[in-house]
Amino acid sequence: MSVAVFTHLVALEHDTGPHHPECPDRLRYVLRALEAPEFASLLREEAPKATREQLIAVHDEAFVDAIFALPSDRLIAVDGDTVFSPGTLETVLRGAGGAAAAVDMVMQGRAEAAFVAMRPPGHHAESDRAMGFCFFNNAAVAARHAQAQWGLKRVAVVDFDVHHGNGTQEIFFHDETVMYASSHQSPCFPGTGSRSETGVGNIVNMPLPPGTGSAAFREAWRTVLLPRVAEFAPELLIISAGFDAHAADPLAQLQLQEPDFAWLTQELLALADHCCQGRVVSLLEGGYDLDALAQSCRAHVRALMRL
C-alpha cells in the first residue's frame, strides 16, 4: 500500500526550553524509527506551509494575526506549558500545511494513506486560543481543507490521544458535517470530553479512567466509537494519532502497548475501506516517552502500510 510521510526538519527548531516534555527529540526518535528497511517504500514528502486562508477557515482571524505578531527573538510562554520560540512560527505553519497537503495527496490518489510526522501537536488549539503545547489545530485545518478543496460533505476526525482534543471538539461542536470521536483518560488535562458533550450529535466521547488497559480500550472502540463513525459514513477519515496512552508515558496513566495502536489503526483502515475508499490521513499528536513514542509510531505506520 502506498503511504506518504510528511515532515520537515524545521520542526526540530521549535524550542520549548529545558526539561519540557514536548521536545525536539520526539521528532528525532520518530523519524529514526521510520528509517528502518521495512519503511523503504514510504513516499517521503516535505510539509509545506499552510496558507492564511487555510488557517482562518478554522481559527479566528485575530488569533492568527496574534500568533504571527509574537516576537521571534526569544522564548515566550503563551501559557503555562505552551512555548513560542524563534523556530515556532514556521514549524506550526508546516504542521498545518502538511496536514492539508496530506489530504490533497490522498484525495488525488497519489497515496492511499498519509502520516504527518510533525510537532508540536494541534488538537488542543481552539478557534481563538493556543494551549496544551498546541498553536494551530492541524486536524481541523485538514478537515476544512478537505471540504473547501475537494467538496467533501462528511469528514470524521478520530482521536486516540490520552488527552481529550478540546480544540477539535470546540471548532466543530455545532457543525454536523464534521464528526469528532475520541477516547481519552478522565480525569486528565484538559478536563473536557465527558460523554454528555455531544455537539449536534456529531461529537462522541469515551472517557476512560486511569489504569485502563488494552481490553477496555478496545471494547470502547469496538462497541461505541467505531460503530458511530461507521454510521456517520465519512468521505475521509482523519486520525489524531497521539501515543501518550502508552503505559510508559509520563503524562498520564492509561496502560496501552504498541499492539493496541496497531489494532486500532487496522480497524480504522477497515472502516475507511468500507466508507471512504480507504482514504486516511493521520497526524502525530502526543506521546512523551521517547522510546514508546518511536515504537508506537512504527506500529502505527506499519499498520497504515498494511504490513
Sequence spans of domains, the chain: 3-304
What is the pTM assigned to this prediction?
0.98
Task: List 115's β-bridge partners, or say none.
Answer: 5, 282
How far, rounded to the nearest angstrom, does the alpha carbon of residue 132 sit from its chain's CA centroid?
Answer: 13
> Per residue in 36-74, pLDDT tens?
999 999 999 999 999 999 999 999 999 999 999 999 999
Backbone angles phi and psi of 94, in degrees to 5: -75, -25
Of 127, 124, 129, 248, which Cα lies nearest the Cα of 188? 124
Q: Would residue 124 show up in a list of annotated catalytic residues for this protein?
A: yes
Q: For residue 122, what pLDDT is reported?
A: 98
Which of the residues 14, 59, 124, 163 is marked catalytic? 124
What is the model's pLDDT at position 91? Answer: 98
| pLDDT category of residue 182 using cuts at 50, 70 and 90 | very high
pLDDT of residue 64: 98
Calpha distance 10→24 (Å, rounded): 10
Q: Do the beta carbons of residue 156 and residue 237 sit within 8 Å?
A: yes
Element spanning 231, H or E? helix 226-232
- The residues near 32 (Cβ < 8 Å, ≥ 6 apart) are 294
Cell 504498541, located at residue: 258
According to the model, what pLDDT value does residue 244 have?
A: 98
Mean pLDDT, residues 224-252 taken together: 98
CA distance 305 to 307: 5
Kindly report the CATH number that applies to the domain delimited by 3-304: 3.40.800.20
What letter does residue 198 receive in the DSSP assignment? -
Which residue in 53, 52, 22, 56 sits closest to 171, CA to CA?
Answer: 56
Average pLDDT over residues 299-305: 98
Residue 155 is placed in which grid cell? 469528514
Q: Which residues contact 206 (CB under 8 A, 6 or more apart)?
A: 182, 183, 184, 195, 220, 221, 224, 225
Tens of pLDDT, residues 72-110: 999 999 999 999 999 999 999 999 999 999 999 999 999
pLDDT of residue 46: 98
The yes-or-no verdict on residue 26 having pLDDT over 80 is yes
> Bridge-partner residues for 246, per DSSP?
256
pLDDT on residue 146: 98
